[in-house]
Amino acid sequence: MKYDLTTGSVSMTMLKFSLPMILGNLMQQLYNISDTLIVGHFIGTDALAAVGASYALIIFLTSVLLGLCMGSGALFSIFYGEKDYFKLKSSIFISFILILILTIIINIFIFIYIDEIIYFMQVPSEIFDLTYTYLYIIFIGFSFSFIYNYFTCLLRAIGNSKTPLIFLASSALFNIILSIILVVNFQMGVAGSALGTVIAQGFCALGLTIYTIKKCPELIPQKEHCKFDLAMIKDISNSSLLTSTQQSVMNFGILLVQNLVNSFGATVMAAFTVAVK
C-alpha cells in the first residue's frame, strides 16, 4: 500500500506511513530478545558472550549499508515525486551497484582478516572459536542484509512502508522457528543460530526483491538506465554518505564499548549482551 503525502491530511498520512516502520523496529527488538533467550538457555554463557561480541560488529557494518540505502531512498523519493522516472531508474541502478560493491568489499575484508578482527575486539581465547564460527556464517549472508535494506528503502521512498513490515515479520518468525530447530533439535550451537539468521534473511531479501520486480515495474531499470553518470553519482554520494555516517557513528561507539566489555571475560560479556538486547 502506498501513501501519497501530496494529497489529503498530511498528519494522518504520515502517521499511517510511520506506524509500520515503528512496528518493524519493535519486531526486530522482539526477535533480538528471542534469539538471546534461545542462545542463553539452550547453549550457555560462552555462546551468549560470543553472539553478543559478534552482534556489535554486525550492527555497525549493517548500519553503514543501511545509511547508504536510506540516503539513496531520499533521492528516490524526490525523483518519484517529480515523476522523473528516467532519473529514478538511473539512480536505482547506480546506487544498487555502488552499495553492492561496498558490500562485497566488506565481505572480502571480513573473511581475510577475521582472526585479526576478533583479536582487535579483545574476545577471550575461550570463546574465540565460537565467535569465529558465528561471524563467519553471518557474513556469508551479509549481502542478504544489504538487499533487504535496499529494497525496504526503495519501497518506502514511493510511500510503501507496509510491505517491508510484512516480510520482516515473516522473516523474524521464520528465524525464531529455525533457531529453535537448529539449536535445540539438531544441537548445532552458535552455528545453528547463525545459520537460522542467514536463511531467514535470504528468504526475506528474495521475497522483497521478487515483490518489487512483480508489483513495481516502474522502478525496474531498463538498458538505457544502466549507465554511470558522474552527476548522478555525485548526487547519490551527497545524499548517502552523511546519512551513513550518522547511522554508523553511534554503533561504532557501541563497538568500542563492546571491546572494553570483552576485556572483562565471557561472563561479563554475556551479562552485557542480555542488557543490550
Rounded to whole angstroms, the Cα distance separating 172 from 61 reads: 20
* Whether residue 3 has pLDDT greater than 80: no
What pLDDT score does 238 carry?
A: 93
Q: What is the mean pLDDT of residues 41-61?
A: 94
What integer is the mean pLDDT of 184-195? Answer: 95
The backbone region for 202, taken as left when phi is positive above 0, alpha when psi lies in -120 to 50, beta otherwise, is: alpha
Secondary structure string (H, E, C) spanning the chain: CCCCCCCCCHHHHHHHHHHHHHHHHHHHHHHHHHHHHHHHHHCCHHHHHHHHHHHHHHHHHHHHHHHHHHHHHHHHHHHHHHCCHHHHHHHHHHHHHHHHHHHHHHHHHHHHHHHHHHHHCCCCHHHHHHHHHHHHHHHHCHHHHHHHHHHHHHHHHCCCCHHHHHHHHHHHHHHHHHHHHHHHHCCCHHHHHHHHHHHHHHHHHHHHHHHHHHHCHHHCCCHHHCCCCHHHHHHHHHHHHHHHHHHHHHHHHHHHHHHHHHCCCHHHHHHHHHHHC
Q: What's the pLDDT score for residue 104?
A: 97
pLDDT class of 2 with cuts at 50, 70, 90: low
Residue 10 has pLDDT above 80, yes or no: no
Q: What is the mean pLDDT of the chain?
A: 93
Percent of the chain residues topping a pLDDT of 90: 84
pLDDT at position 12, please?
83
Q: Tell me, what's the pLDDT at 1?
A: 58
User: Is 158 within 8 Å of 2 (Cβ atoms)?
Assistant: yes
Do 99 and 146 contact (CB within 8 A), yes or no? yes
pLDDT band at 128 (very low <50, low <70, confident <90, very high): very high
CA distance 22 to 20: 5
Give the pLDDT band (50/70/90) at residue 4: low
Asked whether residue 89 carries a pLDDT value surpassing 90, the answer given is: yes
Q: What is the pLDDT of residues 61-82, one digit of tens each?
A: 999 999 999 999 999 999 998 9
The answer to whether residue 276 scores a pLDDT higher than 80 is yes
- Supply the pLDDT for residue 239: 92
* φ/ψ (deg, to 5) at 236: -65, -40
Chain centre distance of CA 210: 18
- Range of weakest confidence among 31-35, 56-60, 241-245: 31-35
- Kindly report whether the global pTM for this prediction surpasses the value 0.85: yes
Confidence of residue 269 (pLDDT cuts 50, 70, 90): very high
- Model confidence band, residue 135 (pLDDT cutoffs 50, 70, 90): very high
Cβ pair 98, 72 in contact under 8 A: no
Cα(179)–Cα(160) distance, rounded to whole angstroms?
A: 30
Confidence of residue 5 (pLDDT cuts 50, 70, 90): low
Q: Find the Cα–Cα–Cα–Cα dihedral 163, 166, 171, 176, rounded to 10°.
A: 160
Give the residue from 21, 24, 1, 2 showing the smallest Cα distance to 169. Answer: 24
pLDDT of residue 149: 96
